[in-house]
C-alpha cells in the first residue's frame, strides 16, 4: 500500500487528498495533516464585515467528510519534513510517507511596513473579518476618510477591490457616504492589472467605477508607514484615515521555511515542475498557494505578486492527485499544466454587483479573455459560493 501525507486542508489539500483516495481506493492510504478541523470558504470573508455572512455560513467540519471518504485526518501542526527519511514531524508525532503533498497555503506578512499590523485591518482570516465588522460599527459613530488597498509585494488585489466596492455600498446604506473620502491605493502598474498583466477592458471599466462611485485612487504606490491617523505612501503622499483595510503580501508558511531540504524560494514557496512535482524530489509535490509561481512580466516601480486563488488551487490539487496515481502505477508520462496556463475563472463582487472574468489562461498569451459586468445583482458570486460549499461538504472532489 502506498502512503501519501498531505499537509494542509484548504482548497488544494482537501481536493488532493480526496482525489488520491478516490482514484487509489484500497491501494492507497492518505493522511491529511492540518491544525484546523474546519474548512473555510475564504472568498466569502469579504461579506462577513457587513453582516451579509457569518463565519458559520461559510465553514464546516472537514474531518468528518474526510473520514467518511477514507482519508485519515490528523489534527496537528506540521513542523518540518525530513525528505531523506521521508518523515513529517508534527507536534503530535511523526508520520512516514511514500509521497508528500505540500498544500500549506500562505502566511501573511503583516510587518511589510511599520504600523500595518497595529493600525490597519485585514479581512483574509475569520478573526480579521470579525474585527473589521466591529471596527466598521464603531466607524459609523464618527465617520471620516477611509483607505483601502494593497501594500507592496501583495498579490491578492482582487479581494481588496471587492472589499472596496462593498464598503462604498455599505456607506451609502448607512447614509454616511457624503461624510467619507474613500481612497484606493495599489502597487499595480494600472487599475485592473490584478497581478495577471490585466484583462481586456479592465482598466477602463475600473476607472469608470472609480469615477461613478467617487473613489480617489493611486496606482504604483506602496506603504512606507502607518500611524494611528495617517498612511504614508512610498511616493511621499500622506493620507489621513479613520478606517483602513490593507492586503499585505503572502509568504510561505513556517513548515516550508523550517524544512531546508525543500529548497524553497526566499519568499517560502516550493519550486516545482509543470506537473507540480518538486524539481529535486520525485515523491514530493506541491499544490495551491504553496507553489512557486514566477511572474511572466516585470512589475513597475513598486513590486507586487501574482494572485493565487481558489480555482487554480483546486485544479493543482487534482493534477497532483492524478500524477501520484500515475507514478504508483509505474507510468512515466505525467499530467502537466503550468499555473499560468490554467484558465482564469473569477467572479469579482462589486457591492451587490459583480464582474465576471473569464480567460483561456491566467497569464498571457491568451486566446480568449473577457470581463462581463453585471450591475443588477451578484447572483453568480452567490451561486459559486453555494456550489463550492455543497461540493466540498459532500466530498465531491472530482467535480469542477
User: pLDDT tens digits for 127-141?
Assistant: 999 999 999 999 999
Cis before 365 (ω within 30): yes
Predicted confidence band at 377 (pLDDT cuts at 50, 70, 90)? confident
CB 317 within 8 Å of CB 13: yes
Q: What does the pLDDT average to over 300-312?
A: 90
275 or 294, higher pLDDT: 275
Set of cell numbers at residue 129: 473579518
For 239, the 3-state DSSP assignment is: strand
Per-residue pLDDT at 190:
96
Confirm if 39 and 14 have CB atoms less than 8 A apart.
yes
Confidence grade of residue 364 (pLDDT, cut at 50, 70, 90): very high
- Reference 318, options 19, 11, 25; nearest CA is 19
Q: What is the pLDDT of residues 140-177, one digit of tens each?
A: 999 999 999 999 999 989 999 999 999 999 999 999 99
Higher-confidence residue of 309 and 237: namely 237
Q: Please name each of the domains of the chain with its CATH number.
A: 2-106+250-339 (3.50.50.60), 110-249 (3.50.50.60)
The pLDDT confidence band at residue 295, using thresholds 50, 70 and 90, is confident
Q: Mean of the per-residue pLDDT values for the chain?
A: 96
Burial class (CB in 10 A: 0-12, 13-18, 19+), 192: buried
126 in the Ramachandran plot: left (φ > 0), alpha (ψ -120 to 50) or beta?
alpha
By the 8 A CB rule, do 54 and 46 touch?
A: no
| Angle of the 310-328 helix axis to the 11-24 helix axis, nearest 10 | 30
Q: HSE-up of 149 (CA within 13 Å, CB side)?
A: 28
What mean pLDDT do residues 230-246 have? 98
Look at residue 13 and give its three-state secondary structure.
Answer: helix
Rg (CA), the chain: 21
Can you tell me whether residue 6 is helix, strand or coil?
Answer: strand
Q: What is the pLDDT of residue 296?
A: 86
Q: Could you tell me the CA-to-CA distances from 55 to 58, 65, 79, 381 in Å, in that order? A: 6, 19, 28, 17
Q: Which three cell numbers stand for residue 218?
A: 493611486
- pLDDT score, position 133: 98
pLDDT at 85: 98
In this predicted structure, the answer to whether residue 376 has a pLDDT above a threshold of 90 is no
Amino acid at each position: 500500500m502506498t502512503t501519501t501525507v498531505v499537509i494542509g486542508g484548504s482548497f488544494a489539500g482537501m481536493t488532493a487528498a480526496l482525489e488520491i483516495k478516490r482514484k487509489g481506493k484500497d491501494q492507497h492510504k492518505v493522511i491529511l495533516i492540518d491544525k484546523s478541523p474546519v474548512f473555510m470558504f475564504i472568498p466569502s470573508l469579504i461579506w462577513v464585515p457587513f453582516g451579509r455572512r457569518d463565519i458559520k455560513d461559510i465553514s464546516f467540519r472537514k474531518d468528518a467528510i474526510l473520514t467518511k471518504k477514507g482519508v485519515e485526518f490528523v489534527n496537528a501542526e506540521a513542523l518540518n519534513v525530513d525528505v531523506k527519511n521521508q518523515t513529517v514531524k508534527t507536534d503530535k508525532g511523526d508520520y512516514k510517507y511514500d509521497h508528500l503533498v505540500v498544500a500549506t497555503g500562505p502566511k501573511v506578512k503583516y510587518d511589510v511596513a511599520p504600523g500595518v499590523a497595529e493600525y490597519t485591518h485585514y479581512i483574509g482570516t475569520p478573526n480579521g473579518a470579525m474585527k473589521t465588522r466591529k471596527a466598521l460599527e464603531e466607524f459609523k459613530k464618527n465617520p471620516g476618510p477611509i483607505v483601502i488597498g494593497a501594500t507592496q509585494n501583495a498579490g491578492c488585489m482582487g479581494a481588496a477591490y471587492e472589499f472596496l466596492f462593498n464598503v462604498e455600498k455599505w456607506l451609502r446604506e448607512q447614509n454616511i457616504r457624503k461624510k467619507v473620502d474613500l481612497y484606493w491605493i495599489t502597487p499595480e502598474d494600472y487599475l485592473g492589472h490584478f497581478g495577471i498583466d490585466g484583462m481586456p477592458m479592465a482598466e477602463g471599466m475600473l476607472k469608470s467605477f472609480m469615477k461613478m462611485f467617487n473613489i480617489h485612487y493611486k496606482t504604483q504606490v506602496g506603504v512606507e508607514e502607518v500611524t494611528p491617523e495617517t498612511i504614508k505612501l512610498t511616493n511621499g503622499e500622506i493620507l489621513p484615515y479613520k478606517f483602513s483595510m490593507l492586503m499585505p503580501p503572502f509568504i510561505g508558511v513556517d513548515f516550508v521555511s523550517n524544512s531546508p531540504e525543500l529548497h524553497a524560494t526566499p519568499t517560502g514557496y516550493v519550486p516545482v515542475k509543470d506537473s507540480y512535482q518538486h524539481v529535486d524530489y520525485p515523491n514530493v509535490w506541491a499544490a495551491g498557494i504553496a507553489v512557486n509561481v514566477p511572474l511572466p512580466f516585470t512589475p513597475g516601480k513598486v513590486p507586487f505578486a501574482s494572485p493565487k486563488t481558489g480555482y487554480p488551487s483546486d485544479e493543482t490539487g487534482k493534477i497532483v492527485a492524478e500524477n501520484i496515481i500515475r507514478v504508483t502505477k509505474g507510468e512515466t508520462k505525467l499530467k502537466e499544466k503550468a499555473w499560468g496556463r490554467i484558465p482564469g475563472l473569477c467572479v469579482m463582487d462589486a457591492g451587490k454587483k459583480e464582474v465576471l472574468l473569464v480567460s483561456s489562461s491566467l497569464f498571457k498569451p491568451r486566446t480568449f479573455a473577457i470581463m462581463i459586468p453585471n450591475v443588477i445583482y451578484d447572483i453568480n458570486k452567490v451561486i459559486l459560493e453555494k456550489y463550492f460549499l455543497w461540493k466540498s461538504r459532500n466530498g465531491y472532489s472530482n467535480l469542477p
